[in-house]
Amino acid sequence: MLPVKFDLNEWFILIMLALGYSIMFKLPPRFPRSIVILVLLLSICIVKIVDVVWMQPPYDLYDVNDTPYYELFDFFTWFLYPPFAYFCVYFYDRQQLRGLSIGLYIVASAIFSTGLEGLAVLCHVYTYKGWKFFYSFPVYIAVITLTLAFFQFVKSYFMKPKS
């Protein structure tokens, strides 16, 4: 259950968690709490669904943390994604993006996410087996688009005028 060795990957996870959640809670609230909960849960669910298919045999494309088995820091790793999903929808909503700028925003967010993943790989949070670094970019494009579409759908329900 505990990490084999408390080294760079564990420090990376703890620092990113502290940084991500402290910024998330410092930002002035923009949406109802139910929307925030749904968006945060969606980000964890996507990771878990993707992990079930790609992290286990027969595909077995990558490992998370020190071993292929579950450990405590795998649990913490799932919580790395929700703050990023929150920032993504937060700035999307704040900037009131329309048209082509949405596409540019998604691409910029995907580049940022891929860069962060590269940093996580350097810190041995992820160990690629069959996965390649550049595969992550289209995956992030799809995930960010899905997150923004889901946010827009939920928000339109909450914000629509009551009859």
Partner 1 sequence: MAVAIVLSVSLILLLVFVLQPKNMHLFEILFDWMVFIFIYGDFFGVITARTERLTNDPNEVHIWSYFCIRFIIFPLIAIWLLDRLSIPHAWGFKLAVCALAITCLVVTDDLFDRFINLPRGPWHILFLYVEWCAILLMIYSLNRFFRSLSLKDVRRH
- Dig out the tokens for 5 from the structure: 């060795």
Sequence-distant (≥ 6) Cβ neighbours of residue 116 within 8 angstroms:
84
Query: For residues 60 and 71, what is the distance between their CA atoms, to the nearest angstrom?
Result: 17
Out of 32, 103, 115, 130, name the contact with partner 1 by CB under 8 A: 32
**Closer residue to partner 1 (CB): 48 or 94:** 48
Find the binder of partner 1 among 19, 37, 122, 146 (CB under 8 A).
Answer: 37
Q: What number of other Cβ atoms are within 10 A of residue 107's Cβ? A: 14
Binding window for partner 1 (CB under 8 A); candidates: 47-55, 83-91, 96-104, 139-147: 47-55
Q: Cβ of residue 38: shortest distance to partner 1, in angstroms?
A: 6
Distance CA 94, CA 89 (A): 8
Rounded CA-CA distance 74/2 in Å is: 10
Interface pick for partner 1 out of 74, 89, 109, 120 (rule CB under 8 A): 74
Residues near partner 1 (CB under 8 A): 1, 32-35, 37-38, 41-42, 44-45, 48-49, 51-53, 55-60, 68-72, 74-75, 78, 154, 157-159
